[in-house]
Amino acid sequence: MADAARYHRLQRRLSLLGFVVSAAYLLALLFTPEGRVFARWSAGAAESRWAQVGLVTVVLVGVHTALTFPLGLIRGYWLPKRFGLLHQPLGGWLMDRVKAALIGSALGLAAIEMVYALLALTPLWWLWTSAVFFVAQVALAAVLPMWIAPLFYRLTPLADARLGERLLAVARRAGVEAIGVFVADQSRKSRTANAAVVGLGRTRRIVLFDTLLSDFPPEEIESVLAHELGHHVHGDVRRGLLVNGAVRLVTFWLAALALDAGVPLFGLDGRADPAGLPWLALVLVALTLVRLPLANGFSRWLERRADDFALVTTGDAPAFIAAMERLGRLNLAEPSPSRLRELVFYSHPALERRIARARASLA
Ligand SMILES: [Zn+2]
């Protein structure tokens, strides 16, 4: 437990440092003469608007990536390895990061190009941007889990037929028809364990990390799965998309006001000037920070309901508690973070609280 506290303290400090580096970088681009020349130059070095936006994005994001890469390496690889959470070789870890970065940059670049195309077209760009993002997110939520998982994991059908039957029975009891149970080879990378319900309709399947299979007795696996089924039955993905969409609409509206205010402030050639990208990024980062506690509060509410669903579905609170304790040890979770830290940073209720709630259901 001392290990968990130390691990999270180090991670928190590094994440704060990363935030300071990113903010300082954006502020330097905006408020130092060299930074403004750099942003102006990278925005002006191409002919068409598409190329300008692409170039300024690639240059500014590229420098940011180079600045923050060492921190990412420490936070994502070195620390987890030191604390025994990760045993993936560096080459494989880097390859996973490259794949994630390629997918992320392709989507990110497309998004920024679209935002600037709309910025040039209409003052209501924030409304259209929110609408397009919403549609894109819905489409991605439908297909990404099935496309992405095979890029990072080898998925094989569960060999243990008895366990498979048992888990499908839990799914049926929860009212979810799944086509089968698959295993992802997480143990190649890490000891952390989880389960998921992915896909829609006829492609819906249960995916278990092999770490869950090797370390957890069947009744605990049922509890973990029942929690995931809870998300599925409650339509949490759909609910999340709707709430996200509404929050994003407000975010972009505020960003539009800030961007217009930034035009005279930073000597921009109108709101669609690609040299304004650092300002737009800074505003969006600030707005994201403001909504972080709200988003996490919403997420903790969904997680509590999924826990309750799991307890009702399995009727086995002791197995749920045992699974939580085991997951906490494996994932090096902080059992009882301060209330304030939980409110701001935690997407799941603190372990201690989840266990207390399960105990209370026994009474
Ligand atoms: Zn959950």
Tell me the C-alpha distance between 273 and 264, whole Å. Answer: 12
Q: Cα(117)–Cα(271) distance, rounded to whole angstroms?
A: 11
The answer on pLDDT for 278 being more than 60 is yes
Going from the Cα of 305 to the center of ligand 1, the distance in angstroms, rounded, reads 9
Contact 197, 229 (CB under 8 A): yes
Confidence of residue 44 (pLDDT cuts 50, 70, 90): confident
Lowest mean pLDDT among 18-27, 287-296, 333-342: 333-342
What confidence category does residue 363 fall into, taking pLDDT thresholds of 50, 70 and 90? confident
pLDDT of residue 177: 86
Q: How confident is the model at residue 145 (pLDDT cuts 50, 70, 90)?
A: confident
> In angstroms, what is the span from residue 88 Cα to ligand 1's centroid?
25
Ligand 1 centre distance from Cα of residue 320 (Å):
13
Output the pLDDT for position 1.
57
Mean pLDDT (the chain, rounded) = 91
pLDDT, residue 118, reads: 96
Q: In angstroms, how far is the first alpha carbon of the chain from the final one?
A: 28
Tell me, in angstroms, the distance from the centre of ligand 1 to residue 163's CA: 22
Residue 234 Cα to ligand 1 midpoint, Å, equals: 11
Q: Compute, in angstroms, the gap from residue 290 CA to the centroid of ligand 1.
A: 23
Q: What is the mean pLDDT of residues 120-136?
A: 95
- Distance between Cα 306 and ligand 1 center (Å): 6
Report, as an integer, the average pLDDT of 19-32.
93
Of 335 and 74, the structure prediction assigns the larger pLDDT to 74
CA of 22 to the centre of ligand 1 (A): 30
Amino acid at 18: G
Confidence category of residue 112, pLDDT binned at 50, 70, 90: very high
DSSP string, 33-96: HHHHHHHHHHHHSSSSHHHHHHHHHHHHHHHHHHHHHHHHHIIIIIHHHHTTSB---HHHHHHH
d(CA 31, ligand 1 centre) in Å: 42
Residue 227 Cα to ligand 1 middle (Å): 6
Separation of CA 309 and ligand 1 centre (Å): 11
The one-letter amino acid at 213: L
Q: Which residues partner with 81 through β-bridges?
A: none
- Which DSSP letter does residue 331 get? T
**Ligand 1 geometric centre to CA of 297 (Å):** 13
**C-alpha 71 – ligand 1 centre gap (Å):** 28
Decide: helix, strand or coil at residue 3.
Answer: helix
pLDDT-derived band at 147 (thresholds 50, 70, 90) equals confident
The residue with greater pLDDT, 329 or 43, is: 329
Measured torsion, CA atoms of residues 149, 153, 159, 163, in degrees rounded to the nearest 10: -60
- Residue 132 CA to ligand 1 centre (angstroms): 27
For residue 21, count CB atoms less than 10 angstroms from its CB and return exposed for 0-12, middle for 13-18, buried for 19 or more.
Answer: middle
- Å from CA of 116 to ligand 1 middle: 36
Task: Answer for the pair 236, 243: CB distance below 8 angstroms, yes or no.
Answer: no
- Can you read off the two tokens belonging to residue 178? 């799944």
User: What is the pLDDT, as a whole number, of residue 192?
Assistant: 86
Report the pLDDT averaged over residues 226-239.
92
At residue 42, φ and ψ (nearest 5 deg) are: -70, -25
State in Å: Cα 19 to ligand 1 middle.
27
CA of 74 to the centre of ligand 1 (A): 27
Q: At what angle do helices 218-234 and 317-330 cross, to 10 degrees?
A: 90
CB crowding 61-92: b at 16 or more within 10 Å, else e: beebeeebeebeebbebebbbebebbebeeee
Ligand 1: distance of its center to the CA of 221 in Å? 14
* SS3 call for 188: helix
The answer to whether 212 and 224 have CB atoms below 8 angstroms apart is yes
Q: Measure 219 CA to ligand 1 centroid, in angstroms.
A: 18
Q: How far is the CA of 29 from the centre of ligand 1 (A)?
A: 39
Q: How far is the CA of 251 from the centre of ligand 1 (A)?
A: 26
Confidence of residue 199 (pLDDT cuts 50, 70, 90): confident
Mean pLDDT of 271-289: 93
- The two structure tokens encoding residue 308: 């309750």
User: Which parts of 77-160 fold into alpha helices (H)?
Assistant: 79-82, 90-121, 125-152
Centre of ligand 1 from the C-alpha of residue 317, in Å: 16
Residue identified by tokens 């692409």 is 54
CA of 36 to the centre of ligand 1 (A): 44
The answer to whether residue 146 scores a pLDDT higher than 90 is no
Between the CA of 286 and the centroid of ligand 1 the distance, in Å, is 27
Q: What is the mean pLDDT of residues 63-71?
A: 94
Does the pLDDT at position 279 exceed 90? yes
Could you read off the pLDDT of 308-360 as tens digits, one per residue? 999 999 999 999 999 999 999 988 888 788 899 899 889 999 999 999 999 99
